[in-house]
């Protein structure tokens, strides 16, 4: 361990050993991380904290007050199985959705009776007459909307459960959270060894269109293309381009759909799953039209 890194860990240990409020502890750790970021790097020596580590710590500090309600997939976007599906119907739904675990319900979504893993479904291929969703159900984890996400992540890891359902005070299903979603909220945009092949956030094409990551902040987008949001959209606190497209369509559009904005800008969905938009192609009015699906009809 380098002297710089050892010094950081030593100071962090001292902070954790002091008696102080949670708020002041978070502020102290944030200041320590900022000091590490500002420290002059000596060539050949390992820095106290690299960029990825700083982002990780910052995200954990920020998420202390984030709840399940903040990160859940909303009820309207939940893909679930009816308990009476046949094997072929269940497999078709799995193939269309692309997720490994799905809730199972009887008459309506509020009547969830468990969750199913796709490997348990595919185990019945070749013997459909023996298949029953209720026979292969796994127990779901039910949590309150106010549960802190870090506590939820710990509970899901301890119980080895990958999917939790967010339930309101009346027992209705508000949303769904996966352990992958929770980990992503902590790691955020932290890069890995595949970063050199990851598509950039914003790429201008030779035909004038723009390919971008749906997580691109709306402020960055407007800095490049000019003002886009309407007054109502600004009041709605839309943070990302993907959030704008979701708001226009009223749902998560599917791959290939084109959603029109009142400004004349058109958004084609290049990549998406049932829960989120990933990449979009943007065409401005002066760059030639796409074949559009009007937002009102989406």
Assess whether pLDDT exceeds 70 at residue 28.
no
Does 3 or 173 have the greater pLDDT score? 173
Element at 177 (helix H, strand E): strand 173-178
Class of domain 69-186 (CATH, top level): alpha beta
Assess whether pLDDT exceeds 70 at residue 24.
no
Does 46 or 139 have the greater pLDDT score? 139
pLDDT in tens, 143-190: 999 998 888 988 888 888 889 999 988 889 999 998 877 877 766 544
Assess whether pLDDT exceeds 70 at residue 90.
yes
pLDDT value of residue 150: 83
| CA distance linking residue 203 with residue 273, whole number of Å | 21
Does 112 or 200 have the greater pLDDT score? 112
Mean pLDDT in residue range 131-144: 93
Fold of 199-297: 3.30.465
Domain borders along the chain are: 3-49, 69-186, 199-297
């Amino acid at each position: 361990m380098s002297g710089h890194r050892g010094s950081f860990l030593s100071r962090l240990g001292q902070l954790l050993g002091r008696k102080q409020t949670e708020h002041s502890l978070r502020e102290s750790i944030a200041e320590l991380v900022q000091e590490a970021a500002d420290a002059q790097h000596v060539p050949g020596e390992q820095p106290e904290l690299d960029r990825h580590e700083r982002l990780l710590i910052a995200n954990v500090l920020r998420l202390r007050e984030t709840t399940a309600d903040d990160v859940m997939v909303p009820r309207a976007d939940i893909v679930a199985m009816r308990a009476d599906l046949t094997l072929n119907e269940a497999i078709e739904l799995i193939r269309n959705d692309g997720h490994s675990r799905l809730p199972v319900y009887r008459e309506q979504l509020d009547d969830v009776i468990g969750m199913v893993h796709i490997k348990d479904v595919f185990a019945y291929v070749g013997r459909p007459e023996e298949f029953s969703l209720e026979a292969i159900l796994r127990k779901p984890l039910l949590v309150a909307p106010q549960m802190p996400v870090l506590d939820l992540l710990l509970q899901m890891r301890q119980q080895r459960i990958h999917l939790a359902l967010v339930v309101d005070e009346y027992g209705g299903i508000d949303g769904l959270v996966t352990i992958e979603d929770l980990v992503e909220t902590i790691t955020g945009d932290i890069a890995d060894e595949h970063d050199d092949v990851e598509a950039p956030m914003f790429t201008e094409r030779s035909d004038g269109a723009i390919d971008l990551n749906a997580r691109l902040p709306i402020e960055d987008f407007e800095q490049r293309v000019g003002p886009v949001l309407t007054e109502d959209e600004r009041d709605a606190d839309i943070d990302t381009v993907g959030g704008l497209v979701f708001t226009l369509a009223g749902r998560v559009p599917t791959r290939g759909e084109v959603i029109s904005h009142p400004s004349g800008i058109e958004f084609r969905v290049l990549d998406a799953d049932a829960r989120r938009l990933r990449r979009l192609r943007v065409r401005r009015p002066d760059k030639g039209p796409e074949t559009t699906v009007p937002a009102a009809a989406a």
